[in-house]
């Protein structure tokens, strides 16, 4: 039986995911340039028509890469979501877990991709927020709500607190790795994280 016109192959989603995996690294390591759809097709070893078949256009491709890889981080977000002891220890654990993630090339690539492609862009920016940054922030919000309910954390806006914890860590890791800070101005990331956690606990703890 022939496949009806417009119907997808059985392995459509598998092929789409495989292409997204290959293209994540190319997009995340673009070095400030924005590769064209033709550049991306060449990097993936396929035709432009194939990329259009799976993603529509370049913006759709970027959004799909962020979405498909964001979905793979669910189990890691579950770790961030749950308190892991008294407030000070829990904050330290959360910061250490964030730092561990940011030390992984794939995570750095996704954040670099989201920022380089998303700033000022009406489609890629919201895709980065929806699939990468906001799920992380919301997981921390849940952790902090639990500490507020337990009386260990002052009654602050959990979202503001989540951003206050995560944003400096993200910037510090991008500063050192993706922006060349290890050469321009090296930073002891472990010491930075320890001092950041100490200041956060003083500011938000009860």
CATH number of the CATH domain containing 168: 1.10.357.10
Please indicate, yes or no, if residue 6 is contained in any of the structural domains.
no
For the segment 38-86, what is each residue's pLDDT rounded down to a tens digit?
999 999 999 999 999 999 999 999 998 888 878 778 899 999 999 999 9
Q: What pLDDT does 69 receive?
A: 77
d(CA 70, CA 130): 9
DSSP 3-state of 25: helix
Give the C-alpha separation, 5 to 93, whole Å.
52
pLDDT of residue 174: 94
Round to whole Å and give the CA distance between 199 and 192. Answer: 11
The answer to whether residues 77 and 36 belong to one domain is no
Is residue 7 predicted with pLDDT exceeding 60? no
In a domain, 152, yes or no: yes
Query: What band does 3 get if pLDDT is binned at 50, 70 and 90?
Result: very low
Q: Cα separation of 147 and 83, whole Å?
A: 7
- Which of the listed residues 64, 84, 104 is the one where a domain comes to its end? 64
140 and 108 in a common domain:
yes
Whether the Cβ atoms of residue 110 and residue 69 lie closer than 8 Å to each other: yes
SS3 205: strand
Q: Would you say residue 25 has pLDDT above 50? A: yes
pLDDT in tens, 186-204: 999 999 999 999 999 999 9
Could you tell me the pLDDT band of residue 2, with boundaries at 50, 70 and 90? very low
Residue 153 carries which DSSP code?
B
The answer to the question of residue 2 being in a domain is no
Single residue among 41, 64, 87 that ends a domain in this structure: 64
Domain that holds residue 149: 73-204
Q: Do 43 and 87 fall within a single domain?
A: no
* Token code pair at residue 129: 């927020």
Q: Identify the pLDDT of residue 195.
A: 98
User: Residue 153 forms beta bridges with which residues?
Assistant: 205
Task: Judge whether 4 lies within some domain.
Answer: no
For the segment 125-139, what is each residue's pLDDT rounded down to a tens digit?
Answer: 999 999 999 999 999
77 and 55 inside one domain: no
| Spatial separation of the C-alpha atoms in residues 33 and 24, rounded to whole Å | 14
Summarize pLDDT for 162-188 with one digit per residue, the tens.
999 999 999 999 999 989 999 999 999
pLDDT at 105: 87
- List, in sequence order, the alpha helices (H) in the chain: 12-28, 37-44, 48-55, 58-71, 74-81, 87-102, 105-118, 124-128, 134-149, 158-176, 181-184, 189-204
The domain boundary residue, chosen from 47, 64, 81: 64
Task: Report pLDDT for 1.
Answer: 44
Asked if 55 and 156 sit in the same domain, the reply is no
Banded model confidence at residue 147, pLDDT cuts 50, 70, 90: very high
Question: What predicted TM-score, i.e. pTM, was given to this entire model?
Answer: 0.87
Q: Mean pLDDT across the stretch 23-27?
A: 84
Give the residues across from 205 on adjacent strands: 153
Same-domain status, 175 and 84:
yes
Whether residue 188 sits in one domain with residue 88:
yes
Count of domains forming the chain: 2
Same domain, 169 and 125: yes
Q: Is residue 175 domain-shared with residue 103, that is, in the same domain?
A: yes
Residue 5 lies in a domain: no
pLDDT of residue 109: 83
């Amino acid at each position: 039986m022939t496949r009806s016109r417009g119907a997808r192959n059985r392995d459509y989603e598998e092929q789409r995911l495989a292409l997204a995996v290959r293209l994540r690294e190319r997009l995340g390591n673009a070095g400030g340039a924005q590769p064209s759809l033709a550049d991306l097709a060449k990097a993936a070893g396929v035709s432009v028509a194939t990329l259009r078949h799976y993603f529509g256009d370049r913006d759709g491709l970027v959004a799909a890469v962020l979405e498909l890889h964001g979905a793979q981080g669910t189990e890691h977000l579950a770790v961030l979501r749950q308190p892991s002891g008294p407030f000070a220890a829990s904050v330290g654990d959360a910061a250490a877990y964030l730092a561990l993630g940011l030390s992984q090339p794939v995570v750095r690539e996704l954040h670099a991709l989201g920022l380089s492609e998303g700033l000022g862009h009406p489609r890629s920016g919201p895709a980065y927020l929806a699939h990468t940054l906001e799920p992380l922030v919301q997981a921390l919000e849940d952790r902090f709500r639990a500490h507020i309910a337990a009386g260990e954390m002052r009654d602050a806006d959990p979202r503001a607190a989540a951003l206050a914890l995560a944003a400096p860590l993200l910037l510090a890791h991008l500063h050192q790795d993706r922006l060349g800070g290890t050469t321009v101005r090296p930073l002891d990331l472990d010491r930075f994280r320890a001092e950041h956690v100490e200041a956060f606990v003083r500011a938000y703890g009860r």
